[in-house]
């Protein structure tokens, strides 16, 4: 099989395509023929060696894929050869075939394409866990989403709206603003304005009767995080998802105290490994929302494995609206 391989940590251009043996599933594992693999910001960090979990070199990156079951181990009961499935793993998805434990495989509805399936994988799982488990979102609350046109951001806009929230989408271009609005955002906030530290709070206060945002999902960090923290409501919850800007912000504990706010972290793979049953249940909740027409993943473009560097660089430079996907055909 063909696979993208990290031989040494570095830029996306350092990835090479190699022929690798077809993996053999153990008793509890499933082998799938990969049709699509999702490209995520953490993949960039894994490839350049800055992610918190790194496999030994050389390795195949990629944290999610969708395809058709080729073979199953002797103890597998949840799926069978020929089934259409999606799976989330720590690494190994950027290949024509991959194995994973059966608990990490989930059926893909017939109406859903494989690119849609991976687009609704980690991005939507992250957004759902952030809103439901970590922030304990309630209907009628106001949610501010930063990076609101990317994979996680657009998923958060759709899910928050489906759960009855008022959604504020923070974006950095008119094109992204239009997409956020088309996907359910009630208000759009421009993060490229001068004096963002004050301007963002003024905009949020203007549409919340000076209350602020009850829930903030931030995956940008840096100055955007700093500005968002000033726009949070009393007893609000800030969920930290990532730091796409490159700067990890710092928080003064006194500010958390006087505003009665909570700053909450989210590492999605911990749920996959520590609470796999909860992970599966959340994935089914998302599929139910999809079947009800309340959410729909946005696949901006698909790329062949050989063009993976183009897809990864689009993510790296913030050019992706929704999701980009690798295909193995």
Q: For 182-197, how does the pLDDT look when each residue is reduced to its tens digit (9 = 90+)?
A: 999 999 999 999 899 9
CATH number, residue 154: 3.90.180.10
Please write the tens of the pLDDT for every residue from 116-130. Answer: 999 999 999 999 999
Tell me the percentage of the chain whose pLDDT exceeds 90: 90
Does residue 283 lie in a domain region? no
CA 285 distance to own-chain centroid: 16
Asked if residues 3 and 60 have their Cβ atoms less than 8 Å apart, the reply is yes
The predicted structure's pLDDT at residue 191: 94
Same domain, 101 and 134: no
Does residue 301 lie in a domain region? yes
Same domain, 185 and 104: no
Same domain, 60 and 37: yes
Does residue 277 lie in a domain region? no
Q: In Å, what is the CA distance from 306 to each residue of 2, 4, 89, 309?
A: 10, 8, 21, 8
Does residue 276 lie in a domain region? no
The predicted structure's pLDDT at residue 53: 87
Does residue 288 lie in a domain region? no
What is the arrangement of strands in the sheet containing 262-265, beginning at the earlier edge strand? 187-190, 166-171, 142-146, 213-218, 232-240, 262-265
Question: Across residues 29-39, what is the average pLDDT?
Answer: 97
Q: In Å, what is the CA distance from 189 to each residue of 83, 172, 204, 225, 317?
A: 43, 8, 8, 14, 20
The predicted structure's pLDDT at residue 273: 87
Q: In Å, what is the CA distance from 300 to each residue of 21, 72, 121, 150, 173?
A: 32, 33, 15, 10, 16
The predicted structure's pLDDT at residue 270: 87
Same domain, 77 and 143: no
The predicted structure's pLDDT at residue 245: 85
Same domain, 152 and 90: no
Please write the tens of the pLDDT for every residue from 143-169. Answer: 999 999 999 999 999 999 999 999 999
Question: Across residues 94-102, what is the average pLDDT?
Answer: 96
Same domain, 83 and 188: no
Number of domains in the chain: 2
Same domain, 108 and 134: no
Asked if residues 301 and 327 have their Cβ atoms less than 8 Å apart, the reply is no
Does residue 185 lie in a domain region? yes
Compute the distance between CA of residue 138 and CA of residue 159 in angstroms, rounded to an integer: 12
Same domain, 255 and 166: yes
Does residue 224 lie in a domain region? yes
Does residue 150 lie in a domain region? yes
The domain boundary, picked from 250, 268, 286, lies at 268
Same domain, 152 and 262: yes
Same domain, 316 and 222: no
Please write the tens of the pLDDT for every residue from 238-271. Answer: 999 989 888 899 998 998 999 899 999 998 888 8
Question: Across residues 288-298, what is the average pLDDT?
Answer: 94
Q: Which domain holds residue 34?
A: 2-120+297-327
Would the pLDDT of 7 be above 90?
yes
């Amino acid at each position: 099989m063909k696979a993208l391989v990290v031989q040494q940590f570095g830029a996306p251009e350092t990835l090479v395509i190699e022929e690798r043996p077809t993996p053999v599933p153990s008793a509890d594992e499933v082998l799938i023929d990969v049709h699509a693999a999702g490209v995520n910001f953490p993949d960039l960090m894994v490839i350049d060696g800055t992610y918190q979990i790194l496999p030994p070199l050389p390795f195949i990156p990629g944290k999610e894929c969708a395809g058709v079951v080729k073979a199953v181990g002797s103890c597998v009961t949840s799926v069978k050869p020929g089934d259409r499935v999606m799976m989330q793993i720590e690494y190994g998805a950027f290949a024509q075939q991959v194995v994973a434990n059966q608990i990490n495989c989930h059926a893909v509805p017939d109406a859903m394409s494989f690119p849609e399936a991976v687009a609704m994988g980690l991005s939507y799982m992250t957004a759902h866990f952030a809103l439901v488990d970590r922030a304990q979102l309630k209907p009628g609350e106001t949610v501010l989403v930063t990076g609101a046109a990317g994979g996680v951001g657009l998923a958060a806009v759709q899910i928050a709206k489906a759960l009855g929230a008022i959604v504020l989408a923070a974006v950095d271009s008119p094109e992204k603003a239009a997409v956020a609005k088309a996907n359910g955002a009630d208000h759009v906030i421009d993060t490229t304005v001068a004096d963002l530290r004050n301007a963002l709070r003024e905009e949020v206060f203007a549409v919340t009767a000076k209350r602020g945002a009850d829930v903030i999902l931030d995956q940008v960090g840096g100055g955007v995080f700093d500005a968002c923290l000033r726009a949070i409501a009393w007893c609000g919850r800030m969920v930290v998802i990532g730091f796409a800007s490159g700067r990890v912000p710092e928080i003064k504990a006194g500010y958390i105290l006087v505003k009665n706010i909570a700053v909450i972290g989210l590492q999605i793979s911990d749920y996959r490994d520590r609470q796999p049953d909860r992970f599966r249940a959340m994935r089914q909740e998302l599929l139910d929302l999809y079947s009800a027409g309340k959410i729909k993943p946005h696949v901006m473009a698909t790329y062949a494995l050989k063009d993976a560097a183009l897809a990864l660089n689009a993510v790296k430079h913030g050019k992706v609206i929704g999701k980009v996907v690798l295909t193995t055909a």
